[in-house]
Structure 1
Amino acid sequence: MPERARRLSGEKSKSAYWSAEVGRKSNALDLEPDVFTQDDPRAIARSLKRSAENSERRKSAPFRSAMSMLTFYINRAGRGLPAERRRILERAKTELRKIFGRA
């Protein structure tokens, strides 16, 4: 189907899901499995810290890489993110700042 027809029909092209690939193949971090599905904000923050510090591919400081990945995930989920999950992830940001001594 031509791209224009695909857009008009509402069918998504493969490139429409580029953001999902970022979480799996990011050059910033190799994330631990299911890190964003955990219910403990401190556990999420610790996992992101481990990933950021162990990554040899990241291009910036560990704190910045970890916070960027967390923010990216929250933004990518958008309105589809349940309020309780958003609260947990926002708390994980606070925990990440504490763990890195930025709070």
Structure 2
Amino acid sequence: MAKYGKKAQQKVERAMHERKHGTLRSGRSGKRVTSRKQAIAIGLSEARREGGKVPRKRGGRTRQGGGGTRTSRKK
């Protein structure tokens, strides 16, 4: 069974086309997308938002450990 639906294919194709022509922009900053992987991610994200058949996103890795300052222990 296919992982991705027709809508996802169309969205990724459109994003790749825009990237090639230099018109694909990302997020709030509106910077031009040059990365192939980023263009695919944008296409899949748009398909997911419109209810296309796309596997769910993997969770990003979170930073482990405490975020405080380190002090050296006394001898």
Same fold (TM over 0.5): no
Larger Rg: 2
- TM-score (norm: length of structure 2): 0.33
Which has the bigger relative contact order, CA under 8 A and spacing at least 6? 2
